[in-house]
Structure 1
Amino acid sequence: MNIHEYQAKKILAQYGVPVPRGGVAHSATGAIYQANELGGDKWIVKAQVHSGARGKAGGVKLCESPKEISQFCDQFLGNNLVTNQTGPEGKMVSSIYVEEATDIIKELYFSIVLDRATQKVTLVVSTEGGMDIEQVAEEMPEKINKIRIDPSVGMQPFQARQLVFTLGLPNEAIGSASRAVMKCYRAFRDTDANLLEINPLVLTSGNKVLALDAKMSFDANALYRRPEIFEFHDKTQQDIREINAAEHDLNYIGLEGNIGCLINGAGLAMATMDMIQHAGGEPANFLDIGGGASAQRVATSIELVLSDENVEAILVNIFAGINRCDWVAQGIVDLLNKRDIDIPLVVRLSGTNVEKGQKILRDSGKKVITAETLSDAAHTVVAEWKKSTGK
């Protein structure tokens, strides 16, 4: 689960990480009020969306008057901000963060990420703050330094100092920067985060370090024990299909292809999507209906897949264990009795009650294309998709 910048900074501030003073607003009037509360004659105004690269898209601006703040709010509030990370549809801006301007001497990069391959926590720093870390890694890999922390031991102060020394900071800033790194690690650990990114982490003219931007994401499986984090969930930033799926306890992730997938089991889903690509198609989604799916759950899942206007064919691939093929088949037929589907529907059933399921499909009189194997199903759905679309 992702959260907004102002929410991430609130968490970091609670752990003692230095952040600039700021306030969130949901209207131009509110943003001007926040600026007046902060005082001064310059403010950084930021559109709040779950995306990086906001500055490049115009979503971050230095304002020097209430009029400029109002104009910024009129431009973005209630509208979608399109960045190179949101896709062409962009994401809705429903809040603006107003922050005091900072006297920046140097911009740095800092992040903490859960490394599943090593089962450790990796801290990454770079002297090239303000840039995309992927670009730095490609063009200047020598500018990136990392250390790995064993979570069973935790981060030690000497490791924080070791990391900070690579940033070339003045001696006066080493202590405060090291303490900030330790506090960031505690915030990451205590909130069950899987990513904490500060880009840029800045050095000010007073040799202080400040988290000028902040991004955090959290392990959704741990949110049951972090209700204070779950309160930050903003549905307006989430794919509507994923929201609808969550309401039915379905695991759904929207992709960019044209072939809708309805599968049970994450491993089988991944294998099916790979096979679709191998056959020359592109999956439109990841959808795991889980074990013990009822006919109603299957019908709901197909409706969810059909809600994506880009879907031009559907593949149902079920290997039944706890599930039963006859339940799945009945769910498909129940939906087809209620509505017509004018795109190819390919179904591959295997496992518990497969004969009953196949019989239900055959006897239904509905236009359902069946397949015996995963390879057969993937190649069939791609061929039918090409035939129906002329692609």
Structure 2
Amino acid sequence: MKLFEYMGKDLFSSYGITVPRGRMVTTPDEAAKVAQEIGGTVVVKSQILAGKRGKGGGIKFADNPEEAREATSQVLSMVLNGHKVEKVLVEEKIKIDKELYLAITVDGSAKKPVIIASIQGGMDIEEVPDEHIVKQHIDLPMGVPPFLCREISRRLGLTGQVGNEFNSLLPLLYKLFREKDAELVEINPLVISGDTLIAADSKVTIDDDALFRQKDIPYVEDRTNIEKQAHDLGLAFVELGGDIAVMANGAGMSMGSLDTLSHYGGKPANFLDAGGGTGMEGTVKAIELLLQTNPKVIFINIFGGITRCDDVANALIQVKKAREIPVPVVIRLVGTNEEEGVRIIKENGMEAYKVMQEAAAKAVEIANAN
């Protein structure tokens, strides 16, 4: 479960990590009041569960309460990265001498937490070369002892009071990571302001399977409307923002479909694992979900084991008869009852492919032509 920035900063503050003064609000008048309380220049930051807010115009500065009111009104009218902005964080503008990056997450390969830090933080952290990134695994019985903090700060080139601040902050961040069952705690940027380190942003993700232990953290729904519908149907579905709707049976087949489409220059609209044993009814519901993404083409990739190819074919025809499918459908059918499934598809004026690469290339060709 992802937390909003203001929620992450509330957690940081409760663990003794310095954050800017500020408060979450939902109306322009509330924003003006907070700006009045803080005084000076404030930052109005959209609160959505997505990144790149600054580049999308979702972060604005205001020099007085009236400007804060106007900036908040503008931000609350925005849709950023597909997310409607419904709340903002109004906080003091801090002096920035240097931006660092600091995170703790789980390294699945090593089966250990890992500290990731860089002297180059900020909006383009993804483009920082590996030689400027420090990675240090955490031995669970040992945790984050002082010597490990000093080693990381040395590798970052942090000295004096700033180095001491870093050495104090890192164990607090790890304590939060462990006690809150986090999958990720990230500060980007971690700002050097004079001799002080300030968490100017927060990204915190809590392990869904541990939420029963975290009763003090409000539940945050981060699924889109279509993802909620899919969840209620028992389907694994993630919106991706492309124009080729994808359905496959099995997580591996679904990932392979996305990779193959991307290889040919396509942009998948979603991840949809219809499951290994989805019958005709479940397939009908899955196709209905795909149509809600408004794609240019639908790509169905079925390798039938438990799933029967004729059930998938009949489901597709059932949807076509019940409603118009406004876009082309490219389908690959291989496996159980393959011959019958292909016959049904062809009798209804469609083509069924046997090779996934050929089908994916065709889907990309159609999407790019529209």
* TM, length-normalised to structure 2: 0.85
Does the Cα contact within 8 Å between 1:325 and 1:356 map onto a contact in 2? yes
In 2, the alpha carbon distance for the partners of 1:332 and 1:314 equals: 11
In 2, the alpha carbon distance for the partners of 1:105 and 1:339 equals: 60
Matches within 5 A, 1:1-391: 1-36=1-36, 38-81=37-80, 86=81, 91-137=83-129, 142-151=131-140, 153-205=142-194, 207-220=195-208, 222-223=210-211, 226=214, 229=217, 231-234=219-222, 238=224, 240-277=225-262, 281-309=266-294, 311-354=295-338, 357-358=341-342, 361=345, 365-379=347-361, 381=363, 385=366
Question: What are the superposed Cα offsets for residues 1-47 of structure 1, whole Å, 9 maximum, x if unpaired?
Answer: 433210111222233322223211000111123334x4443433322
Question: What are the superposed Cα offsets for residues 88-142 of structure 1, whole Å, 9 maximum, x if unpaired?
Answer: xx532211112234344443222223333433333222333435223332xxx55
Q: In angstroms, what is the RMSD of aligned CA positions?
A: 3.1
Structure 1 residue 281: Cα displacement: 4.6
Does the Cα contact within 8 Å between 2:345 and 2:351 map onto a contact in 1? no
Q: Which amino acid aligns with 1:133?
A: I
Q: Structure 1 residues 55, 275: closer, same or farther in 2, change over 3 A?
A: closer
Structure 1 residue 168: Cα displacement: 4.2
Structure 1 residue 367: Cα displacement: 3.2
Question: What are the superposed Cα offsets for residues 204-232 of structure 1, whole Å, 9 maximum, x if unpaired?
Answer: 44x33221211223445555655655613
| 3-state SS, counterpart of residue 17 of structure 1 | coil
Does the Cα contact within 8 Å between 2:8 and 2:203 map onto a contact in 1? yes
Q: Which amino acid aligns with 1:154?
A: G
Q: Which amino acid aligns with 2:138?
A: I
Q: Structure 1 residues 146, 297: closer, same or farther in 2, change over 3 A?
A: same
| 3-state SS, counterpart of residue 11 of structure 1 | helix
Structure 1 residue 56: Cα displacement: 4.5
In 2, the alpha carbon distance for the partners of 1:54 and 1:133 equals: 14
Q: Structure 1 residues 21, 298: closer, same or farther in 2, change over 3 A?
A: same
Structure 1 residue 263: Cα displacement: 0.5
| 3-state SS, counterpart of residue 202 of structure 1 | strand
In 2, the alpha carbon distance for the partners of 1:374 and 1:104 equals: 52
Q: Which amino acid aligns with 2:203?
A: K
Q: Structure 1 residues 52, 359: closer, same or farther in 2, change over 3 A?
A: closer
| Structure 1 alignment gaps of length 5 or more | none
Q: Structure 1 residues 172, 280: closer, same or farther in 2, change over 3 A?
A: closer
| Structure 2 alignment gaps of length 5 or more | none
In 2, the alpha carbon distance for the partners of 1:179 and 1:59 equals: 32
* TM, length-normalised to structure 1: 0.81
| 3-state SS, counterpart of residue 337 of structure 1 | helix
Aligned residues: 370
Q: Structure 1 residues 255, 109: closer, same or farther in 2, change over 3 A?
A: closer
Q: Structure 1 residues 224, 249: closer, same or farther in 2, change over 3 A?
A: farther
Does the Cα contact within 8 Å between 1:223 and 1:230 map onto a contact in 2? no
Question: What are the superposed Cα offsets for residues 319-367 of structure 1, whole Å, 9 maximum, x if unpaired?
Answer: 23333334333322321221132433233333344455456556xx533
In 1, the alpha carbon distance for the partners of 2:97 and 2:369 equals: 58
Deviates more, 1:351-360 or 1:280-289: 351-360
Does the Cα contact within 8 Å between 2:33 and 2:65 map onto a contact in 1? no
Q: Structure 1 residues 291, 131: closer, same or farther in 2, change over 3 A?
A: closer
Does the Cα contact within 8 Å between 1:7 and 1:232 map onto a contact in 2? no
Does the Cα contact within 8 Å between 2:35 and 2:64 map onto a contact in 1? no
In 1, the alpha carbon distance for the partners of 2:211 and 2:321 equals: 39
Structure 1 residue 163: Cα displacement: 1.4
Does the Cα contact within 8 Å between 2:248 and 2:301 map onto a contact in 1? yes
Q: Structure 1 residues 336, 51: closer, same or farther in 2, change over 3 A?
A: closer
In 1, the alpha carbon distance for the partners of 2:358 and 2:101 equals: 48
